[in-house]
Each structure stands twice: as C-alpha cells, then as structure tokens.
Amino acid sequence: MIGEQLIGVILLALLALTAITIARLRNLLATAMLSGIFSLLGACWMLFLDAPDVAFTEAAVGAGISTILILATLCVVGADEKQVQESPLALLVVLVAGGVLVYGTLDMPRFGDPNAPAHQSLVTQAYLYSANAPAEHRETQPSRDAHELETFAVGIPNTVTTVLASFRGYDTMGETAVIFTAGLGVVVILGGARHRRFEPSETVDITPSDERPEA
Amino acid sequence: MDAIREALSWLFIVPGALLCVTGGIGLLRLPDFYARMHAAGVTDTLGTALVLVGLMLQPADWTVTVKLAVILFFLYVTSPTAAHALIHAAYTSGHRPEFAKDAPLPREVESR
Amino acid sequence: MKNHVILRVVTKLLIPYILLYAFYVQWHGDYGPGGGFQAGVIFAAGIILYALVFGLQAAEDAIHPRVVHAGVAAGLLLYLAVGVVALLLGGNFLDYDAFGHHGQHHGILLVETGVFITVASVMVTIFYSFAELVRSD
Amino acid sequence: MKAYLVVAIAGVLVTMAMALVRAARGPSVYDRILAVNSFGTVTVLFISVLGFLLGRPDFLDLALLYALLNFVGTIAILKYFKYGNLAAGED
C-alpha cells in the first residue's frame, strides 16, 4: 500500500517539476514539447487514480492533438514569448489565490474515504447499479417492484459511458454543441485565409531566439 | 510451471528495467546529441522489448497478450523511424557532433 | 517530407491502424475505456499525420475541407435527431427506452457516433485552417 | 504485489525523471525532441506495468494509444522545425 502511494507521490513530483520548468522557459517551442510531457504525466496520474476514461481523453487530446495545434499556432505567431515586466503584486495575487484553494481542500473528504458523500449518495449507487444490471432485468421486474434502483438499469458495463451518453445525455449534447461552436468560430475567423495569403514581409521567424545561430 | 514462469519473468523484466535506466543515464550524461541518440536507442529497443515480453508471460486473458504484442510491434516500427527522421533532420540542417564541428555536408545526404 | 522514403512507407503502414484503432475505441466504448470523443480525436490524428507527411494539399485532395465542414454540423445534427426521433416515438427527448428492447444500447451508440463525427471534423478543421495560413506551396 | 513488477516500475519512473531533465535542459531543439520521444516510449512501459501491478490489464488500451500517437507528435515537431509550417508537401 505504501508502495502504491509512493508511485503517486513520484508522479505528482514529476508533474510539479514539469510545470515549474514550463513557467520558467521563454522558448515557446520547448514549452509546447514540455506541455506534451505534462499531459502524459497527467494521464499516468489519472490512470493511477483508476480513472482510465479520463486518462484516455487526456492522452488523446493532450499528448496527440494539442501539441500539433499549438505548433500550428506557433507557425503563425513565432516562437518567442513576449517579455513582460514581472510585478510583485501579480505574485502576491497568485499566492493568495493558491493559498485559498489549498485551504478549500482541507474540508474535502480523505482520498478513498468510503464514508465520503460521493460514495454514499443514492445517485452514485443508482449509476453503479445500472451499469452492472443486464437490460433484460427490467423486463422481468417492473420498476415499482422491490428496488427503486432497478428503474435505472441500462446494461452497459462501462459506467462512464452510461452516465455520459444516457443519464446525462443533455449535458453531452451541450458539450458537443460547444465543440461545434469552436469549429464554427475557427472557420468563420480563419476560413477566408486561402484568399489572402501572408505576404513574404509578414512572415515571422519561427526559430526561438536562443536556438538561432550566432549572426 | 508457475516456478518456470516466475523465473522467466525475473529473467526478462528486471534486465529490461535495468536497460531502461541505462538508456536514461546515457540520455542525461553523454556529451552531445548524436551520442545521446545511442543511449535512447537502448531504452527504445531492447529495454522495451524485454519488459513487454516479460509482461506477456504473466497469467492473463489471451487478448492481453495480443495487445502487448501489438504494442511491441508498433513501438518497433515507430521509434526507429522517428529516430531516423530526427537524426536526418539534425544532420541536414547543419548540427554537427562535438568532435567534428567542421564536417562538410555530404552530397548524398543533402540531395535526399 | 514526401521524399523521405522511410518516413513515407512507415506512415502509409501506420495510418490504417490509427484509423482502425479509432473505430475500436468508438465501438468498444461500452465495455472498456473510450467513447466518441476520444475516438474522434484519434481519427483526426490519423488524418493530420497524413497531412504532415504528404503535404496539406494531398490531405485536402483526399478529404475536402467542404466535407469536413459538413461533418462539423452533421455530428451535432445526428445527436439532435436521436433526441427528436425518441420524442416522435412517444418518449422524452433523448429517452432511448423509446427505441424498444435494446433501445439504450442503440441510442448510446448513435449518440456516440454523433460526438465522434463532430469532434473528428472540428479537429481536422482547426488543423486545416491554421496550416492554410502559412502554407508555402 | 510481485517483486519484479515493483523493480520494473521503479526503473521506469527513474528513466522518466531522467528524460524529463534532458527535455528541460536542452540545449538544442533536437535533444528536446529526442527526450520527448524517449519519454513517450517509457510512458508506454509505465502504463503497461502499472496495469499489471494494479490488476487492471484494460489499461493496455491506453498504452497502445501512446504507441501510435507519440509518433505523430514527433513528426509534427520535426516538420515545424524543418519547414516552419505544417502544410509543406515537397522537400
């Protein structure tokens, strides 16, 4: 048990190390690569917490697609981060906000606590029950019989899929609409690009300044 | 049977993990990019293969064994290709090893 | 990168498996980790790999941007259609029990397909639009 | 918990840390790409071993996903660095 905890601690330490490195780098190409690593580590951490569906999404989106889309953006805007004046006030605001968030976690139930409200709730039990009960079950036992829970039977082994696509179908529809809107926005803003190619004078230097050969 | 399985697991997985660590040390400590490439190769090929073959020996469903074999196949196709493309890009763009800073660009590499 | 022989051959070998794996994740989502969203992203990654190695023009010849734009809307429309058909069959909006005995199964599969189409199309659209901005050919 | 799996996961975690340090330190962009690629390979191993360690072999789906997608990311970074855009067709 201690050994398993140790794996989690090491993964979190690596995540923190990656995040600090990303914050300190001024070379956006390196930042893009390290954020790919960050996603990989995040997915491993979620997998360690036994949430393979979330890890799957993080893996596919974070490590696969978002690196490519960030690179596609860097092609347009160049790979040097704009130098900004760092003010102590900003640091203070971040520290206070972070402190408040950490304070908020103190009230949360312990990790894996069986008495946590999320594990005791009737809704959770219904979700878990429905995922494991076969669809035929409902036919033989009418809903008002014995268990109230049996009205929920869906008969699909993966609880996450059941909750996302069936119980929370409205929610997922909204999410699909959000993705649709994102695609629409990109098409509306950039869709006409093929008619107005960038002139050569507008091209940006995509090599980060610390990678350029000495001139 | 189980004793043989255990022994073979030790024989494959532990050397595989050691080779991974060896590759990692090389990646960290070797002096320049081309040398580090060799170290990464140790992790990517023999280390990966030994660990995955060792996992195939574990008692599990046959689908698990097939999936491990497929993973091994794809890793063996993709990592040497990525390494080749990477070193090709580095050499043609003028990156040179530490000990041969002024090596000329060979014509055949340039034209490929 | 089209003239790079090894890369070209390996990419041609790999792309069918990436697309096939996307469908595996899509249809196997009821039993294991995965679902429409993840499958869409993987499918898009396969198409983007083709565009990276063979050039944007080749990818646009294979899958025209207009088809992709249509896919963005088609996925969401499929999702909404499932809801409306459930409504017409006498159930509530998105109530898959209206589809009969295995209604939940079929409803979830159809809805996930809608998510798959929209996500894959949006990812490819974003890539096309950004790559289009700085193309050199 | 089988001892050889613990050894394997310890080795893999150490390798991940070393690849991460190389990716952060550079110095050239090629070192970083190499480190990210190695990191991806080692992550595939990590997920596989973790699946057996926790008794959840269905984690292997995720390892298979990485084995396929890691390549796409590496090629994208290489193309960006060599051509300056992601659209070029000819060399």
Nearest to A166 by CA among C42, C112, C77: C112
CB contact under 8 A, D69 and C53: no
Q: State the pLDDT at residue B91.
A: 83
Residues B59-69 have a mean pLDDT of 87
Give A109's DSSP letter: P
Instruction: Check pLDDT > 50 for residue B93.
Output: yes
Give A63's DSSP letter: I
Chain D residues with a Cβ under 8 Å from any Cβ in chain A: 1, 6, 9, 13, 16-17, 20, 23-24, 26, 28-29, 32-33, 36, 39-40, 43, 46-47, 50, 54, 56, 58-59, 61-62, 65-66, 69-70, 72-73, 76-77, 80-81, 84-86
Could you report the per-residue pLDDT of A38-53, keeping only the tens digit for each?
Answer: 999 999 999 988 888 8
Number of neighbouring beta carbons within 10 Å of residue C40: 30
- Set of chain D residues whose Cβ sits within 8 Å of the Cβ of B97: none
DSSP-derived 3-state class of residue A80:
strand
Q: What percent of chain A has pLDDT over 70?
A: 75
Q: State the pLDDT at residue D79.
A: 87
On whether ipTM exceeds 0.90, the answer is: no
- Most confident among A115-124, C30-39, C81-90 (mean pLDDT): C81-90
Nearest-angstrom CA–CA distance, A136 and D11:
48
Q: What percent of chain A has pLDDT over 90?
A: 24
Lowest mean pLDDT among A119-133, B38-52, B60-74: A119-133
Instruction: Check pLDDT > 70 for residue C40.
Output: yes
Number of residues that this document lists for chain D: 91
* Residue bearing the bigger pLDDT, C49 or B61: C49
Burial, C72: exposed, middle or buried (Cβ in 10 Å; 0-12, 13-18, 19+)? buried
Q: State the pLDDT at residue B111.
A: 43
Residues C60-79 have a mean pLDDT of 91
Instruction: Check pLDDT > 60 for residue C68.
Output: yes
Residues A81-91 have a mean pLDDT of 82
Lowest mean pLDDT among A10-24, A78-92, B61-75, C121-135: A78-92
Banded pLDDT at B22 (limits 50, 70, 90)? very high
- Set of chain A residues whose Cβ sits within 8 Å of the Cβ of D36: 33-34, 36-37
Q: State the pLDDT at residue A156.
A: 72
Could you report the per-residue pLDDT of A89-111, keeping only the tens digit for each?
Answer: 988 999 999 999 999 988 888 87
Give A104's DSSP letter: H
Please answer whether residues B33 and D30 qualify as being in contact, where contact means their C-beta atoms are separated by less than 8 angstroms.
yes
Confidence (pTM): 0.87
Nearest-angstrom CA–CA distance, C92 and B27:
59
Banded pLDDT at A144 (limits 50, 70, 90)? very low
For chain B, what is the largest distance between any 2 Cα atoms, rounded to a whole number of angstroms? 59
Q: Which positions 146-205 of A are in contact with C (Cβ < 8 Å)?
A: 154-158, 160-162, 164-166, 169-170, 172-173, 176-177, 179-180, 182-184, 186-187, 190-191, 193-194, 197-198, 203
CB contact under 8 A, D89 and C54: yes
From the list C2, C14, C54, which residue is nearest D71 (CB)?
A: C14
Give the tokens for residue A185.
């926005």
CB contact under 8 A, D50 and A7: yes
Instruction: Check pLDDT > 70 for residue A148.
Output: no
Q: State the pLDDT at residue C93.
A: 85
Instruction: Check pLDDT > 90 for residue A139.
Output: no
